Chains A and B, each alone.
Chain A
Amino acid sequence: MRKLFLPALALGLLATSAGAQAPMTSIDSARHVLNRLAYGALPGQIEAVAREGVMKWVDRQLGFDDIHDPALKSLESSFDILHTSASDLQGMQQKQVAQAKRLQAIDDTTARAQALQMLRQDQQAGKQDLRTLLGEVSSLAVIRAAQSDRQLPEILADFWTNHFNVFIGKNQDRPYFPEYLEGTIRAHALGRFEDLLLATAKSPAMMLYLDNAQSVAANTDQRTLALAQQARARPGAMRTGRNGRRTIGPPRQPLLDSAQMARLKQSAPRGLNENYARELMELHTLGVDGGYSQQDVINVARVLTGWGVDRRTDEFAFRAVAHDTDPKTVLGERFPGGHGEDEGVRLLKYLAEQAATMHHVSAQLCARFVADAAPDGCIDDAVRAWKQSKGDIRVVMRAIIYSPDFWAPSNVQSKVKTPLEFVVSAVRALGGTPDSTPRTAQRVAQLGEPLFQKQTPNGYGESQEDWVNSGALLARMNFAVQLASGRLPGVTIDLESVIPATTDHAALVDRIDRSVLGGGMSDHTRTTILKQIADLSDPRAARALAVGLAIGGPEFQRQ
C-alpha cells in the first residue's frame, strides 16, 4: 500500500524543503512523470494523467503487459526490417561488398560509371535494399517513441540500448543489429538485469562490436583454428569458380592448398582481445571504479575466449577450439578450467550480482531519470530494491520513481532533453505523426544524436554538457520554427485541433503554455512571445511564431 502514500510524501517534502516554492499540484506531477518517464505529453495527456492519478499511471506503465497498443502494432507491421533475419542482412551486405569490389576493380572510369549506374538502378528496383532496411531501424525507433502507449518501456529500451551500446556503423556487427535491438535489448528491457546482461553477451552484435569473436586463447593452434574457420565459411556465399563464373553453393572439398592454408592462418586471430572484457566490467557492470585490475581484465577475457558467432547460422556460438581451458581467478573468485561455456555464464552471473554493479547501474538509472549528478538517496533506494528483487528492473525502476529525489523540486525541469527527447516531445506536444521515412531520425541526427551510431562503447551521455553547444541550440530553434509552421518534412501536424488560431493573443499564449509547456512558461517567455506576435494580424502567422518560440525556447529544452 506504500504507493498510496507517495504523492502525499512528495508533497510533504516539497512543503518542507522548497521554501518559497509552491507545492506541486497534480498537474505538475503529471507533467513531471510525462517528461521523465515518457517522451513528453500528448495534447491533453497531462490533464488525463492527473485525473487518472499520477501513481496509477506509473504503475500501469510498469505493468505494461496490460497496455495493448493496436495502433502501434499495425504501424510496426509495415516495417520490413522486423521481418528480415540477420542471415538475410548478412547476405545482402556481403553481396554489396562484392559488388563494390568488382566496381572498384574496373580500371576504366567510363565503364565504372556505367556499372555504378546499373548497380544503382538494381538497388532502387529491389525493395530489400540494405540501406533502406537499415534506415528503417532508426525511423521505427522514432515512431515507437512518438506513438507508443508503452512510453516507459520505450524509454527503458532506449536506456539499455545506450548502456549496452553497439555501433551500427561497424561493418561486422551491422547485419546483427536489428536482431540485437529486438531480441536482446527490447525483449529484456524490463526483466532481470542478469538476463539482459547474458543476452547481450550472447548476441553476435556485441561479440563482434567489442571484438570478443576475435579473442582466442593465447596457445590456440593456428592450424586448428584456420580449419575451424574454413569449415565455417558461409555455404551460400558467392565464389568464383574455376571457369571464372560466379557460383553459389557449398564449396567443393577439399578446398585448402598450402597457400590458402597460410592465408587463413595469417588472418586467423592470434590471441586474446581484451576489448569486451574491459567494457563488460567498466561500462556494463562494475563501473570504472569497480575494483578490478588489469589482471582481472585479462582473466575475464580468458574466461570468455570461444564466445563468438557461428558464420553458418549467424547465431551466437561457443567455439571450444578457441577457449582457454586453464583455471582463472576474477576479483578473487576462482574459475576452474574445463567448464567451457558454463564458465562464462557463471562469470556473467557473478558480475551481475556484485555490489559495485548494483551501485554503478543504479547510479546510471538515477542520472537518467532524476538528475545528471545521480543523488545518493536515489541510488540507495535503487540498490535496496535491486538486492531485494535480485535485479528485477521493474522493481528497481519503481524504487527510483518512488524515491523522494525523483520529486525534489530542484530536480524537476532540471535535465536538458537529448535530441531524441527534444524532437519526439515536440512532435508529441503538437499531436504530430512522423511518417515511416528516416527524415525525422535524420533531424535527430542533425541535432547531434545519430541513433545507434555512437562509435564508442560508452554510448551517448546523459548530462547537459553532452548536448548543449551553440550550434546544437540554434539547430533546435530552427527545428522548432519549421515544425510549428508545418514545414518540417516527414511530420504531419494538425495544429488547429491542438491550438486553434485566434486573434486573442493572450488566450493563444495561455493555450500554448498549457499544451506545450504544461503550464511551466516563465513570465519573461510569456512577455517576449506576446511582444513578438503583437504586430502580426494574421492569427495563423502569430500562432506559428508563438509555438515556434515556445518549442525552440529555453523552457522546452528542459524536462
Chain B
Amino acid sequence: MFNASLKQLSVLLAEKKISSTELTEAFLKRVKTLNPEYNAFITVNEEMSLEQAQIADKMIASGQASTLTGIPIAQKDIFCTKGWLTTCGSKMLSNFVSPYDAGVIERFNQIGSVNIGKTNMDEFAMGSSNETSFYGPVRNPWDVSAVPGGSSGGSACAVAARLAPAATGTDTGGSIRQPAALCGISGIKPTYGLVSRYGMIAFASSLDQGGPMAKYAEDLALMLNVMTGFDARDSTSLQREKEDYVCVLEKPLTGLRIGLPKEYFSKGMSKDVECAVEKALQEYRNLGAEAVEISLPNSELSIPVYYVLAPAEASSNLSRFDGVRYGYRAKSYSDLSDMYRKSRAEGFGAEVKRRILIGTYVLSHGYYDAYYVKAQKLRRLIAQDFIDAFKQCDIIMGPTAPTVAFDLGEKSKDPIQMYLSDIYTSAASLAGLPGMSIPVGFGEKNRPVGLHIIGNYFAEARMLNAAHQYQQITDWHQRTPV
C-alpha cells in the first residue's frame, strides 16, 4: 500500500477494499514511527487529518468521489491552510495559524483529499538543502547523512520515504525539481501562471509556482488536474481552457525530438550523474525518440540573474513581516522602528536576511539600473534562447542537479556553492517554462540521480507523457529507501 500509485489507491478506495480513514491512519502511523528520524514534517495533526478522511469516506459512499478523493497528500508548509500552523519554515511565522486556505489547498479540500501534514522546507523557500529551516534540517531517506535538497525537501523526503503517497511543493529556481532529483522521486513545476499563488507565501512572485511531487509521472498528471486552473485572486493566474494531463500519457514517443543543450553536457556535471543521464537518454532512443543538439548560449547567466531578481522580489515581499499584523514580534524594543528592526533580526534566519539585504541593495537608488534592470534584460535573453531552441526540438533534457545529494553541512557555510546547485533549473524558472525531474538511476554512495525535462510553455502533457513512457520500461521510480 505504501508503494502504491495514486491510481492504485484510488481503485482500492472506490472498490471499498480500504477506507480513507484506514488509509490515513496507516500513513499517520508510519509518519509517527519514521518522522523523528527524517524531520520531513513540521506539523502533523491526526485529529484534523482523520476528520477530513471521514468526510472523504462519506463522499465515496455517496458516489461523489473523484480520483484523488480520500487520498492523503502532504502539503508544503508554504501553503496557508485554515486552522493549521503555517510556518514557511521560519521563526517569523512559528505562531501563525492560518485564518484562510490557499487556492491550492481549497482545490484539494473540494475534491476530498486528506491533508496528512505540513512538510518541512527551507525558510521562506530560500535554500537548496533544507538546512535553512527554523525547524531543523530534513534527512535524505536514501542516506541520512545527506541533504534531501530544497526548498521542498520535506515534501521530497515524505514521498521518497513513503510517509505520504504524494505531496505539494513550490519552485522558484528549482525547489521542486532539485529535491525530487536528490530524493529519487518525480516532480513537476508547471508553466508560470497555471497554479494559483493565492495563499502561497510569496518569495519571488514573478518566479514562484506550485506543483506536485510523487512517485509516478502518472501521479503528477492526476495532481496537476486538481491543482491547475484560473484563480481571480492571483493577479498572474492565467485564464485558459482547463487541460487533462492524463489522457495523453500513453502516446508512443516515436519521433519525439529531444534537445540536448551542449552547455549542460560540456562541463559542471559530475561523472556519476552524466553516466545515469546518458543511460536514460539511450532508453529514450530505444523508445523511438531522437536526440538533437541545441544551444542555450546565455544559460551561464541564469544564476547571476536569478540572484538579483529573486532577492529583489523577496526584499519587497518580506517587508510585510513587521511584527504588527501577524507573526513574530520581539520581546523588548525602545520604539516602533526598533520594534521592526529587532522583530525582523530575531524572526528571520541568516539566509533570509542575506537575500533581503542583496535585494534591498540592488533595488536601492543608484544601483537599480545596473543590477535590477540589467538582470531583467538578461532574463529576456535567457527566455529567447529557449524560444529559439524549441524550434528544433519538442522537449529539452539534461541533468536536474550537477551532483547527487551532498552531505549535511557540506555547503551550508558557502552560499555560492549552495546557489550553484540550481545551475540547471533556474533558467527554465526565469523563462517561466515548465520543468520536471524524474529518477533515472543512482550515482556515488548509491544516491539518486534525476533527469531534468524542460518543455515549451503549456507542454506539461507532453512532458508527463515522455516521463510516463520512460517509467513503463524502467523501475527507478519504484525503488524505495526504506
Q: Bound pair: A and B?
A: no
Q: Which residues of A are in contact with B by a Cβ distance under 8 Å?
A: none
Interface residues of B (CB under 8 A from A): none
